[in-house]
Structures are given as C-alpha cells and as structure tokens.
C-alpha cells in the first residue's frame, strides 16, 4: 500500500514537472501577480485614507455648522427672539447636512430645536453634552458610530458672557458603503491598467528573456554533441558573462573529450586506432545502408620475429619499431589508393554515421605485435592480394632504430565479410586462424580463411591456437584448486592450482585439450604467467579471510628458459601480496633432468626468497642420485601411476617405500598423487607418507566452491601451525 502511494506521489511530481510553464510565462505571471498584490495594497491604503478623510470632513462640517449656529444665536438669545431662531434652525436642518440642531437659553430654560414638529414651548429633554458645554464654557464633542455631536457655548460678542449653548448632530457615513465605493473605483482602474500593461510586459519579457532562450538552445545543442554551437559572448551584461563561462566550460569539455577519445580509441604506442576503434569501424561498415549488400575484407597481421627484437634490444626499441611499422602500413594503404581513417571520432555519436567516413579503410594496432586492416567495397580478391603485397613490401626494408637495423616479417590472414562470418567476433577469429596458417606455412605471406586446411587434426590445432590466443587476451582462463591433505588426519595442508579454459562454445576445457598446442606454439609461457598471477591473487584473498592455504603452481620448461622468469615471479608475488613461503613451484622430473644446470641457476634466487620447489611426476623420468642431490627441490610428488597400483602390485608398494626412504634421507617432503581409494590412503599412511592428493579427498574446484568445500570438510581451515608432512622444514608452509 505504501509503495502504491509513493508511486502515485512520484507520478504526480513527474506530471507537475512536465507541466511546468516556461520561463517567459513564469515571468509574465510574476509581474501580473506583483501588480495584483500592489493593487490590493494600494486599494487598501487608499480605502483607509479616504475613510479617515471622510471622518475628518464630518467633524469639520460639525465644527463649521456649530460655529455658524453659535454666531447666529447670539442676537436672538440677547433679544429673546426665539421664534425667528427656531425658523432659522429648521432651515439649517432642512439642508440635510445635519440631523439635529439645538439652542438652549439657560436664563429662561428654553430649548429651541430644528424639528418642525416641536416648538420651544414643548417639554424636551436637554442633551447632557449641551449642558456641559454651557457649564465649562468650551466646545464638547461626542462621537458615535452613526453620528457626531458637538456642543458649543454661545457667548455675547461684547463681554464674552455665556448666553447659552448650541448642539449640532451630523450623521457619519456608512463605512461599508464608503469602502465598497472606493474598492469598486480602484478595482476598475487596476483592471484597466493590467490590461494595458500585460502586452507591454510580454513585449519587454520577450526582449529580456531572448538572450537566455538563445543560451538555453545553445546548451541543448552542446548536450547533443554539437560543441561548435555559438555562444552570445559579445554581450557585456550578466548574460555575456554567463555565456563566456559556458564557452570556457565547453572548451574544457571538448579538450577532455578529445583526451578521452584518444585514450579509448587510439593506441598509445603507434598512434594508430586501437582494437576498440577497429571494432567500431567494422560495425559502422555494417550500419551504412549503402554497404549492406557489399563485401569487405578484414586482414589480421602478425609480425614475424618481433619477439627477438624485444628480447635482444628491450621494449623501448620494440615500441619505436611498432611506430615505424604503423607509419609504413598507412603509407602502403595510400599507395594502393585507399583513403584510411576510422569511424570513431571525438564529439561524434553513432547516429552520425556517414557514408564518406565509413567507406574509408582502417589500419589499427590490435595489441602486442598484431595489426588489423579493414578494406571496404571488396569485390575481387586481387584487391586484397595487392594490399597484402604492399604491406609485406613495407616491412622488407630494415628499420633503423637508434642506429640498429631491425628486420621483421608479416604473416597475414584475411577473412571476407559476410562469406567467412556474420559478425565481428567470427570474422576476427577466422582471420586469426588464417594468419596462423600463413605463419605455419613459413610466414611473410597471405592466407585467406577459405584456403586454410580445415580437415582433421591440422584444422583443430590451428583453431585451438587461434582461440587460445584470444583466451589469453581476454578473461576465459581460470584456475581450479585440488586440495592436498594429511594422510593421517585428513587435514587440508595446501592446494594445487590447475588451469581451466572457459571456452565460449565448447564449455570448460581441461589442460589436456590445449596444453600441447600451448607448448608447441610457445603460448605456454603466457599461460603459465597467467595461472601464477591468478593463483597468487586468490591466495592473497584467502589470507585476507584468515585462511592460510599454501599453493602449488606448475612451471613449464619454456618458463624456466626465460632469463626473466625469476624476476617475473617475484614481481607477481609483490603485486599480489602473496607471501613467497606459501608458494611452491612444480617442475616435472623430465624437465628437471633435461638441463639441471638451468634449473639450478633459475631456482636459486627464488629459493632465497622463500619459494619452495617440487619435483612433479617423480619416478617416471631418469633421475640419478647425483643429480637429485644437486637439484634444489623440497618435495617429491610420486606419480599417480605408482599410487594406482597400490594394493594390487607389491612392486608399486616397494617403489613407493623406496621413494619415501630416499626422501627421508635427503630431507625431502613427499606428496602422493592420484589417491582415489581408502585402501590406497591406508597403505600410504602405514608406510609413512605424510601428504596426498586425489579424487578421494577432492576434485579440482573453482575458488568459490573450494572455499565452501573447506567449510564443510573435516578440517575446516588450512593448518595454521605445524606441517603435517614428513621431511625437512616442517614449519615452512605454516608461517604467515
């Protein structure tokens, strides 16, 4: 009910806001209301003053008539001519100005009045006011709502002796009648003035408000995106000051919009349009109605051998090289007769799509060493081949950067819209696949998407490679966590971070679906870095929740071969805030034995920082005791192939016991992988294995499910003190 009432009130307020009159109407209404108020005040004041004047007039008339009667009565009272005096008083009363006139002779006790129906012989009561005036010898006044009575002493002209008294009664006017007359007269005057003034007010109101109206219209144009709308800055009044302030504000907004546009749509390194601008230009081509039945090409360009430039000379040289390449690409498009530009421009909205802008070609830097080109109005492949040839030639001449001659090549993949895809994502994906096909064919060439060998395994690997690159650029990769537990207590003592791919079409993919491709193409380095960052960030989040969970992360041979690997790991720990002693890096036995010197050299600074190392899949390689003693490892992870045979093969049990004995001798911790049955757990516990992981305890889970699982498992939190593992450094995992 309350909600309904509130909604009704809001609706009423919205209606009132919609019905709110304009500024000119409100100005006229204000002037009219002020005029009416002033008219009412004026009429009220005038009524009061006129009523006071009428009162004063009545008193003045009473005084004048009373003085006249006093002078007139003197000779008559001296000579006792009462009859003549009575006739004169009747004539005065007949004028209508006075109601009653009395003259009293106290010597003879005779009262002469103005009433023709009476005479001075009649017995008439004498007014006390008249007697008081004769007694004190001064004029007396009595005011009543309906009349004013004044009594005057009548004095002899010579001696000034009081001969008698005169009483005059003058009627007072009706106040209501007087006020009504005054209001009626003044209301007519006010109405006439209002009718005359309203057109004048409208005229002057329009002239006064016209600059404000123009300023408002300009503000609406600016809000609609027209920053070139003129302001009336030539005025010297307050409107001019406001207009200049608005103009300065719009100039600042224009500058900020230009900067925002640059940040949003321009690549900061090359100065070319960026990925978002490229996508917007593609959308503009689709939205222009003149191009709806036309084809256009999208070329995905990847630089060959660019990584060597960064590795050999540093990223500063790489950035300068990208700038030069962008310039040459633009010149190549011009040489092909293709005007280049980009649809997204500052201060322009999507509805402003125009044909002349949209039909331009566009070259953009999509990220890293990847570029893209859009060619509109493509009807024949020869045009695409010609442009690709010019782009290839553009980079054939070595680039001279700070005195060094640098050479790169280009692998170009092309997809035609709408033949090879109906939207931006599909076109870019297929152009990417075509580019990788060109790169695998030797590079420095063009390959159309429909030329790609899309049969069987070759196509699948190309598709996986292209999609994996997209996944690494986006947020499709995630990390799952499989718990490690104490064999004896089932207490959680850590977790292994395992990568998963949230593929937009194929769903959640395990590493087996893409790790081989990542290893083959060199993407495993970027993949490993991403997993490490995600795992350390999640570990820091658990620490903030007062959960200390040591994490293990797998490391590939390509990562170990990177000279910057140790620095990158320490940088990741610093950025995420995850403590080094809670991180364990896992290296497979095969990788470790392939080049022990590299492993030893790379792991040194990391171990000094407190990071642990584990030898993964132990027992499947060809380790020697001499090498094992030299390698800087802290943990053996017994391969699951031995664990699965526990209880079935006495040989597997003997191997596991041997590994445990050797680990104890070398002060290594041991983790048994792939534990799936209670029998396997019991055997491991009986032969002294401290830690295990496998489906028996928990499958790999994402972070949220892992947190919930921790709440419900027998041991609710990771250990906070003690190790629960065998071997050396029993407290290394527990310190916070």
Tell me, what CATH number does 534's domain have?
Answer: 3.20.20.450
The predicted pLDDT at position 21 comes to 64
Q: What percent of the chain has pLDDT over 90?
A: 16
* pLDDT at 725 > cutoff 50: no
Same domain, yes or no: 467 and 525: no
Question: What pLDDT score does 325 carry?
Answer: 93
412 and 307 housed in the same domain = yes
Do 455 and 569 sit in the same domain of this protein? no
pLDDT tier, 706 (very low <50, low <70, confident <90, very high otherwise)? very high
Clarify whether residues 420 and 542 are in a common domain.
no
Section 188-205 average pLDDT: 73
Q: Domain boundary at 471, 501, 534, which?
A: 471
**Alpha-carbon span 376 to 196, nearest angstrom:** 68
Q: What share of the chain is helix, strand, coil (3-state, %, to 5)?
A: 55, 20, 30
The answer to whether position 97 is within a domain reads yes
Q: Is residue 76 part of a domain?
A: yes
Instruction: Using a pLDDT cut of 70, give the percent of the chain over it.
Output: 80
Listing DSSP states for 468-483 in one string gives HHHHHHTT-EEEEEEE
Neighbouring C-beta atoms of residue 327, cutoff 10 Å: 14
Helix (H, G, I), strand (E, B) or coil at 245: helix
3-state secondary structure of 507: strand
Domain containing 430 equals: 270-471
Same domain, 623 and 681: yes
User: Which tens digits make up the pLDDT trace of 204-251?
Assistant: 666 666 677 777 777 777 776 676 677 666 666 666 777 677 777 777
Q: Which residues make Cβ contacts (< 8 Å) with residue 368, sequence separation at least 6? A: none
- Position 585 confidence tier, pLDDT thresholds 50, 70, 90: very high
What would the pLDDT profile of 130-150 be if each residue is shown by its tens digit?
888 888 888 888 888 788 888
Please tell me the distance from the alpha carbon of residue 355 to that of residue 503, in angstroms, as a whole number. 37
Give the pLDDT confidence score for residue 45 in this predicted structure.
80
Q: Answer yes or no: is 554 within a domain.
A: yes
pTM: 0.46
Let me know whether 548 and 463 are in one domain. Answer: no
Q: What is the structure's pLDDT at 569?
A: 93
682 within domain boundaries? yes
What is the domain count for the chain? 3
Choose the weakest-confidence range: 90-99, 225-234, 389-398: 225-234
Q: Are residues 66 and 165 in the same domain?
A: yes
Residue 379 is predicted with a pLDDT of 62
pLDDT of amino acid 617:
73
Q: Work out whether the CA dihedral 313, 318, 320, 321 comes out positive or negative.
A: positive
Residue 439 confidence (pLDDT) = 83
Q: 287 versus 113: which is more confidently predicted? A: 113
Average pLDDT of span 286-310: 80
pLDDT given for residue 61 in this prediction: 80
Give the orientation angle of helix 175-223 with respect to helix 23-79, to 10 degrees.
160
| Domain presence at residue 421 | yes
| pLDDT reading at 74 higher than 70 | yes
CA angle at residue 173 from 168 to 177, to 5 degrees?
170
Q: Kindly state whether residue 496 falls inside one of the protein's structural domains.
A: no
CATH assignment of the domain containing 160: 3.30.450.20
| Residue at 509 is within a domain | no
CATH number at residue 357: 3.30.70.270
- Which of 443-452, 659-668, 683-692 has the weakest average pLDDT? 659-668
> What angle is formed at CA 474 by the lines to CA 473 and CA 478, rounded to 5 degrees?
110
Q: Beta strand pairing status for 162-171 and 147-155?
A: antiparallel
- 375 forms beta bridges with 297
| pLDDT classification of 594: cutoffs 50, 70, 90 | low
**How confident is residue 550, by pLDDT bands cut at 50, 70 and 90?**
very high
| Mean pLDDT of the residues in the chain | 79
Please indicate, yes or no, if residue 640 is contained in any of the structural domains. yes
Read off the pLDDT of residues 346-355 as tens digits, 9 standing for 90 and up: 334 443 444 4
pLDDT per position as a tens digit, 601-626: 778 888 889 999 888 877 655 455 54
**Count of H helices and E strands in the chain?**
24, 21
Looking at the fold, whether 528 and 443 belong to one and the same domain comes out as no
Domain boundary among 471, 503, 535: 471
pLDDT of res. 336: 80
Do 403 and 526 fall within a single domain?
Answer: no
**Higher model confidence: residue 495 or residue 293?**
495
The residue among 383 and 590 whose pLDDT is bigger is 383
* Residue 448 main-chain phi, psi, to 5 deg: -80, 155
Q: How far apart are CA 513 and CA 471, in angstroms?
A: 14
* pLDDT confidence tier of residue 577, bands split at 50, 70 and 90: very high
Same domain, 568 and 452: no
Whether residues 465 and 528 share a domain: the answer is no
Average pLDDT over residues 428-434: 88
User: In terms of domains, do 598 and 662 share one?
Assistant: yes
Mean pLDDT of 194-202: 72
pLDDT digits 0-9 by tens, 458-502: 567 778 888 888 888 888 899 999 999 988 888 899 999 999 999
Among 173, 193, 225, give the residue marking a domain's end: 173
Residue 573, pLDDT above cutoff 90: yes
Of 77-86, 186-195, 210-219, 305-314, least confident by mean pLDDT is 210-219
589-613: b or e for each residue (b if 16 or more CB lie within 10 Å)? bebbbeebeebeebbeebbeeebbb
Arithmetic mean of pLDDT, 654-678: 84
């Amino acid at each position: 009910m309350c909600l309904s009432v509130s909604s009704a009130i809001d609706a009423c307020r919205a209606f009132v806001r919609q019905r709110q009159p304009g500024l000119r109407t409100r100005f006229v209404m204000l002037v009219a209301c002020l005029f009416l108020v002033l008219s009412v005040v004026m009429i009220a004041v005038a009524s009061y003053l006129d009523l006071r004047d009428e009162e004063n007039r009545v008193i003045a008339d009473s005084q004048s008539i009373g003085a006249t009667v006093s002078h007139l009565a003197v000779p008559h009272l001296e000579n006792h001519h009462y009859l003549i005096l009575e006739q004169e008083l009747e004539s005065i009363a007949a004028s209508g100005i006075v109601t009653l006139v009395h003259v009293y002779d106290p010597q003879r006790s005779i009262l002469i009045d103005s009433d023709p129906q009476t005479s001075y012989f009649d017995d008439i009561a004498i007014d006390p006011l008249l007697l008081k005036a004769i007694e004190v010898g001064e004029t007396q006044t009595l005011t009543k709502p309906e009349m004013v009575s004044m009594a005057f002493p009548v004095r002899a002209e010579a001696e000034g002796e009081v001969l008698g008294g005169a009483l005059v009664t003058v009627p007072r006017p009706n106040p209501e009648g007087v006020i009504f007359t005054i209001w009626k007269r003044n209301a007519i005057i006010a109405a006439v003035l209002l009718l005359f003034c309203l057109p004048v007010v409208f005229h002057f109101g329009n002239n006064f408000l016209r600059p404000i109206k123009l300023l408002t219209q300009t503000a609406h144009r600016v809000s609609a995106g027209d920053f070139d709308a003129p302001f009336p800055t030539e005025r010297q009044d307050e409107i001019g000051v406001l207009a200049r302030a608005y103009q300065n504000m719009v100039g600042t907004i224009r500058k900020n919009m230009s900067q925002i546009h640059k940040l949003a749509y321009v690549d900061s390194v090359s100065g070319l349009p960026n990925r978002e601008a490229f996508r917007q230009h593609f959308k503009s081509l689709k939205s222009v109605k003149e191009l709806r039945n036309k084809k256009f090409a999208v070329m995905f360009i990847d630089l060959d051998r660019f990584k060597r430039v960064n590795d050999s000379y540093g990223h500063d040289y790489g950035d300068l090289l990208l700038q030069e390449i962008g310039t040459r690409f633009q010149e190549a498009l011009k040489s092909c007769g293709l005007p280049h530009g980009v649809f997204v421009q500052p201060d322009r909205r999507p509805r402003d799509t125009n044909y002349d802008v949209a039909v331009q070609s566009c070259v953009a830097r999509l990220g890293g060493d990847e570029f893209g080109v859009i060619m509109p109005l493509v009807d024949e492949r020869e045009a695409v081949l010609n442009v690709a040839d010019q782009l290839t030639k553009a980079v054939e001449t070595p680039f001279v950067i700070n005195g060094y001659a640098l050479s790169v090549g280009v692998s170009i993949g092309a997809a035609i819209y709408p033949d090879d895809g109906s939207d931006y994502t599909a076109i870019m994906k297929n152009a990417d696949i075509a580019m990788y096909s060109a790169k695998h064919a030797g590079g420095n060439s063009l390959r159309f998407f429909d030329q790609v060998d899309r049969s069987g395994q070759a196509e699948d690997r190309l598709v996986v490679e292209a999609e994996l690159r997209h996944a690494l650029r986006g947020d499709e990769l995630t990390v799952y966590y499989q718990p490690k537990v104490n064999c004896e207590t089932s207490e959680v003592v850590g977790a292994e971070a395992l990568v998963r791919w949230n593929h937009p079409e194929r769903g959640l993919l395990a590493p087996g679906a893409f790790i081989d491709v990542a290893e083959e193409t060199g993407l495993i380095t970027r993949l490993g870095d991403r997993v490490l960052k995600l795992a350390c960030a999640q570990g820091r989040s658990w620490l903030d929740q007062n959960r200390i969970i040591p994490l293990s992360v797998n490391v590939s041979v390509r990562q170990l071969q990177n000279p910057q690997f140790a620095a990158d790991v320490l940088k990741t720990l610093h950025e995420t805030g995850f403590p080094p002693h809670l991180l364990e890096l896992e290296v497979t036995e095969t990788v470790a034995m392939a080049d022990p010197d590299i492993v030893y050299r790379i792991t040194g600074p990391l171990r000094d920082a407190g990071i642990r190392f584990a030898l993964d899949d132990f027992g499947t390689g060809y380790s020697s005791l001499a090498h094992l003693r030299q390698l800087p490892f802290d943990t053996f992870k017994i391969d699951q192939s031995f664990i699965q045979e526990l209880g079935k093969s006495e040989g597997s049990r003997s191997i596991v016991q041997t590994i445990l004995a050797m680990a104890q001798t070398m002060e290594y911790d041991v983790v048994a992988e792939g534990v799936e049955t209670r029998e396997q757990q019991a055997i491991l516990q009986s032969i002294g294995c401290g830690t295990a992981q496998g489906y028996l305890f928990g499958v790999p889970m994402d972070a949220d499910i892992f947190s919930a699982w921790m709440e419900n498992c027998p041991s609710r939190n990771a250990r906070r003190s003690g190790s629960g593992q065998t071997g050396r450094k029993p407290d290394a995992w527990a310190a916070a």
